[in-house]
Amino acid sequence: MDPKNGSSFTGFILLGFSDRPQLERVLFVVLLIFYLLTLLGNTTIIALSRLDPHLQTPMYFFLSNLSFLDLCYTTSTVPQLLVHLRGADKSISFAGCVAQLFVSLGLGCTECILLGVMAFDRYAAVCRPLHYTVIMHPRLCALMASASWFTGFANSSLETVLIFLVPLCGRNKIDHFFCEVPPLLKLACVDTTVYESEILFFSMIFLFTPVALITFSYGRIVRAVLRIKSAAGQRKVFGTCGSHLTVVSLFYGTAIYAYLQPSSNHSQDQGKFISLFYTIVTPMVNPVIYTLRNKDVMGAMEKVFCRGSI
């Protein structure tokens, strides 16, 4: 995607919700509240995982990674959106758009892999409880987390290059609130079928690995649960795994809907609200999902707050 394309090109215009001024005012208030809650919830998870020795386990190590990732993911788009919702200038430089696409794609890809790694952690805890600490050694946990980040951004590099190879012919108005793949492809002045096929091919290969890991892990977990005779034991397993499955369903469901459906069936307004869901709503509710009915986290919060009030 040549930034010049034969004309003076300074950047892009993010149209966002500019055709609905009344909605912009409402969205500004709602998204500001959601963003602050996202910062609070995910920062709390990270802090508790560091401060409470009982939470210094593989599960909470990966959860704190997820919380940090969600903080970065939301911050890569929402502050700019808030500025655009309150101002007349809705521009973004070419370099800024490239950076935003690269970072948001990298963080999204990393989350896909990290959710698969967390599923494997739950498999080891439920199906191999006696060997859990040996299997999920701190070095292995750090290696798996690092591999998730590296692979996610490597995939993002490839897709970002493919996107910005598409000729624009001077078009610069993006009908979206941030630089994302589907609306960027719609700016192209050439047939993008080949580009879309390449991106879909690489996306499918990338998704296959984490989805296969999640399917394998939960297939084994279900088999293990069916062997548990006590109802209390089954509830305990479902309690620890149910939160993760909920987060997986929210993230993968919205991401697959946004990226893997044909562009001809993709309503732009619908796409904007789907993007709002996985860029701000999902990161905001993740800490709630993981802490709801979680006695370890609630106990850690009580200890920290009680210690602070003394």
Indicate whether 291 pLDDT > 90: no
**What's the whole-model pTM score?**
0.88
pLDDT for 149-184, tens place per residue? 999 999 999 889 988 888 877 788 999 999 988 888
Contact indicator for 104, 180 with CB cutoff of 8 Å: yes
pLDDT tens, residue by residue, 103-158: 999 999 999 999 999 999 999 999 998 999 899 999 999 999 999 999 999 999 98
Spell out a b/e string for 138-164, using b for 16 or more CB atoms within 10 Å of the CB, else e: eeebeebbeebbebbbebbeebbebbb
Residue 51 clears pLDDT 50, i.e. is over it: yes
pLDDT of residue 5: 46
Return the domain boundaries, the chain. 12-259+272-283
Mean of per-residue pLDDT scores for the chain:
86
Q: What is the CATH number of domain 12-259+272-283?
A: 1.20.1070.10
H or E element at residue 174: strand 173-174
Which of the pair, 87 or 258, is modelled with greater confidence?
A: 87
Helix residue ranges per DSSP H, the chain: 21-51, 58-75, 78-86, 94-127, 132-135, 138-163, 181-185, 193-227, 231-259, 268-276, 282-291, 295-309
Longest dimension (CA), the chain: 71
pLDDT band at 293 (very low <50, low <70, confident <90, very high): low
Q: CA end-to-end span of the chain, whole Å?
A: 59
What pLDDT was estimated at residue 299?
78
